[in-house]
């Protein structure tokens, strides 16, 4: 027996054939396991990448959706503010006209020649005031309803868009 160090080739040549075959089978098994593991890792990476891309896309769509909601809310608020300003101006103008008319009525009643004439003037003015109040109240109600419809339109459109978006994805 020599004291030379043995190399893999020397060991392989000295080993019986069954050990060599077992060794080769083990090496082949390890190679196949490594290939399977590598393929599994690559598949997992691909799935993770695909999931990440879907999550990013969903986040972008959600951000866009919420931005559109905010824009609709701002537009609705602007419509409401302008409409409310117009309503306030109309009420102020109507109130001023009513005050002027009341002052004229007061002057007419105080300058009446008799109590009957004053009573007749006051009755006519009261009737006209009630008719005017009912008419103005109806106009104010109609204008207010139109304002609410106009201000709600952008929000209604977003609700419709949300229903369409989420029902197509469900």
Sequence spans of domains, the chain: 20-169
Angstrom distance (rounded) from CA 140 to CA 69 = 30
- Helices 115-169 and 17-110: angle between axes, nearest 10 degrees: 170
pLDDT in tens, the chain (170 residues): 556 666 655 555 555 667 678 888 888 888 898 889 898 999 999 999 999 999 999 899 889 999 999 999 999 999 999 999 999 999 999 999 999 999 999 999 999 899 999 999 999 999 999 999 999 999 999 999 999 999 999 999 999 988 888 787 65
**Cβ distance 154 to 72 under 8 Å?**
yes
């Amino acid at each position: 027996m020599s004291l030379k160090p043995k190399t893999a080739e020397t060991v392989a040549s000295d080993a019986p054939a069954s050990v060599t075959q077992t060794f080769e089978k083990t090496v082949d098994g390890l190679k196949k396991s490594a290939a399977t593991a590598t393929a599994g890792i690559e598949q997992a990476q691909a799935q993770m990448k695909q999931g990440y891309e879907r999550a990013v896309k969903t986040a972008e769509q959600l951000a866009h959706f919420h931005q559109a909601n905010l824009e609709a809310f701002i537009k609705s608020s602007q419509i409401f503010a302008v409409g409310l300003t117009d309503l306030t101006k109309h009420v102020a103008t109507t109130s001023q006209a009513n005050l002027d008319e009341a002052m004229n009525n007061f002057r007419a009643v105080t300058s009446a020649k008799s109590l009957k004439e004053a009573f007749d003037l006051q009755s006519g003015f009261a009737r006209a005031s009630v008719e005017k109040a009912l008419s103005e109240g109806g106009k104010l109600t109609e204008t207010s309803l139109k304002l609410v419809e106009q201000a709600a339109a952008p929000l209604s459109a977003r609700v419709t868009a949300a229903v369409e978006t989420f029902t197509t994805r469900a």
